[in-house]
């Protein structure tokens, strides 16, 4: 049964066994509503499909796959292709069904009862939800007013956790860079300092990595505890195919292989990943177009008198005046433009997040927002 906030209300009206409460408590309002609209700018997908030649090649490959056989359990070709793409060894690559499943495997392997993870809020909700599912204790650190992690504060938190929990020092510290939903990317110095400071893994979620100026990938050689998580859902325009991966020390890959279900990665997505990587220059061109459009949206929001934060991703966080974000969001939906209401996320009062779309979609968003802002008056001071 689904509650008003999209939560599963297990036990409500049921006479059978009750689900474990932690397994159902996704933060209220996390799921973006899937409503039929003309302009969908709510889930940070690529606005353009991948190249037709990619789709044709994939269709031809799928036709000859042999659906009666289980897929290659080790995803050999795909891991080699990703390894070549990043200039690492195939033994350093682990693939799964979207980066969410990659994260879940990391928590199954390194989290769990009597283990702790540190997350810095506001950030991607699954970074604290997956720990709940895997019975990992979540310790929350804050970000500064630009939504960046402050190294001294992070160090103090690490020390506090170590003092408070003794053997429960964090087995995982999560960084999201660029961070969803704020768009902020951590300076290289921060990532390096945390990699040196944390006692366990430093997991850097780079779902939006290709939009950013730097990556933690080049810390892998010097820091064996750094794990970089990437996805094909955003820059590769393949959200429907559900493919993500991590690049890390071989020991981390081996640990993830221990916990993942056998044959979890179907043959179609293994082929899709291999073929997609042949279209890197098209991907880079899509990213460049998005970055250009991102600048246009930021300028448009500023012109409308709204505070927005610098973004190194394919979305922008902005704040509506007063407490009318929900109303603005609702009126946009009525005009068939769907963005993300993040105003009930920790520290994001009055904030909305818009995904960068095509030039036409962005024009429609900005024009509609102008109308909606004029129609909705800010609350009296
Ligand atoms: C920061 C971050 N990490 C991971 C994901 C999950 O991506 P996927 O499971 O589609 O690879 C998302 C999706 O929005 C995200 O924003």
Say whether pLDDT at 29 is over 70: no
**304's tokens:** 């409308």
Sequence-ordered list of residues with C-beta below 8 angstroms from that of 262, at least 6 positions apart, any chain: 73
Q: 307 alpha carbon to ligand 1 midpoint, in Å?
A: 25
CB-neighbour burial class of residue 76 (10 A; exposed 0-12, middle 13-18, buried 19+) = exposed
**Average pLDDT, integer, range 190-213:** 96
Q: 371 alpha carbon to ligand 1 midpoint, in Å?
A: 32
Q: Ligand 1, closest atom to CA 123?
A: 1
Which residue has a Cα nearest atom 3 of ligand 1? 207
Q: 258 alpha carbon to ligand 1 midpoint, in Å?
A: 23
Q: 97 alpha carbon to ligand 1 midpoint, in Å?
A: 11
Q: 244 alpha carbon to ligand 1 midpoint, in Å?
A: 9
pLDDT in tens, 185-200: 999 999 999 999 999 9
Pocket of ligand 1 (CB under 6 A): 44, 98-100, 124, 176, 180, 205, 207, 231, 233, 239, 244
Strand, helix or coil for residue 49: coil
Contact 175, 204 (CB under 8 A): yes
Query: Residue 379 — pLDDT band, cuts 50, 70, 90?
Result: low
Report the range of poorest mean pLDDT among 76-80, 178-182, 318-322, 326-330.
318-322
Ligand 1 mutation target, pool 34, 43, 102, 180, most atoms within 8 A of CB:
180
pLDDT in tens, 218-264: 999 999 999 999 999 999 999 999 999 999 999 999 999 999 999 99
Other beta carbons within 10 Å of 299 = 12
Q: How far apart are CA 149 and CA 137, in angstroms?
A: 20
Ligand 1 mutation target, pool 42, 124, 345, most atoms within 8 A of CB:
124
Cα 109 to the chain's mean position, in Å?
20
Query: Residue 20 — pLDDT band, cuts 50, 70, 90?
Result: confident
Q: 126 alpha carbon to ligand 1 midpoint, in Å?
A: 8
Structural domains of the chain, ranges and CATH numbers in brackets: 21-49+281-375 (3.90.1150.10), 52-279 (3.40.640.10)
Other beta carbons within 10 Å of 212 = 17
Contact 334, 293 (CB under 8 A): no
pLDDT in tens, 94-135: 999 999 999 999 999 999 998 999 999 999 999 999 999 999
**Average pLDDT, integer, range 5-28:** 61
Q: Where are the beta strands (DSSP E) in the chain?
A: 39-40, 93-96, 116-121, 137-142, 172-176, 201-205, 226-231, 244-247, 307-308, 315-319, 337-338, 340-341, 351-355
Sign of CA dihedral 138, 140, 146, 151: negative
């Amino acid at each position: 049964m689904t509650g008003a906030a999209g939560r599963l209300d297990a036990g409500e009206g049921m006479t059978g066994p009750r689900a474990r409460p932690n397994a159902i408590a996704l933060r209220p309002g996390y799921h973006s509503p899937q409503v039929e609209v003309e302009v969908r700018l709510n889930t940070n997908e690529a606005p353009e499909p991948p190249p037709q030649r990619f789709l044709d090649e994939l269709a031809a490959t799928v036709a000859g796959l042999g659906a009666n056989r289980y897929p290659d359990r080790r995803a050999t070709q795909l891991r080699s292709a990703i390894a070549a793409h990043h200039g690492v060894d195939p033994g350093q690559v682990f693939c799964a069904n979207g980066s969410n499943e990659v994260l879940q495997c990391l928590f199954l392997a390194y989290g769990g009862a009597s283990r702790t993870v540190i997350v810095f809020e506001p950030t991607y909700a699954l970074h604290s939800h997956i720990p709940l599912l895997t019975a990992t204790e979540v310790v929350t650190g804050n970000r500064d007013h630009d939504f960046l992690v402050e190294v001294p504060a992070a160090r103090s938190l690490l020390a506090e956790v170590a003092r408070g929990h003794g053997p429960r020092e964090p087995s995982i510290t999560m960084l999201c860079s660029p961070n969803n939903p704020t768009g902020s990317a951590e300076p290289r110095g921060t990532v390096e300092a945390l990699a040196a400071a944390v006692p366990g893994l430093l997991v850097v979620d780079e779902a939006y990595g290709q939009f950013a100026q730097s990556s933690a990938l080049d810390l892998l050689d010097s820091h064996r505890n750094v794990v970089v998580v990437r996805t094909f859902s955003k820059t590769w325009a393949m959200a429907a195919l559900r493919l993500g991966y991590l690049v890390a020390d071989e020991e981390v890959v081996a640990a993830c292989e221990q916990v993942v279900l056998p044959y979890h990665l179907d043959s179609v997505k293994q082929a899709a990943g291999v073929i997609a990587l042949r279209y890197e220059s098209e991907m880079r061109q899509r990213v460049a177009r998005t970055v250009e459009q991102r600048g246009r949206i930021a300028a448009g929001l500023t012109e409308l008198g709204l505070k927005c934060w610098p973004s190194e991703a394919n979305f922008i966080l902005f704040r509506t005046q007063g407490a009318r974000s929900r109303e603005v969001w609702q009126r946009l939906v009525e005009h068939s433009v769907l963005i993300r209401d993040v105003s009930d996320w920790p520290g994001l009062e009055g904030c909305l997040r818009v995904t960068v779309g095509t030039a036409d979609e962005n024009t429609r968003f900005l024009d509609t927002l102008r109308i909606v802002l004029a129609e909705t008056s800010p609350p009296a001071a």
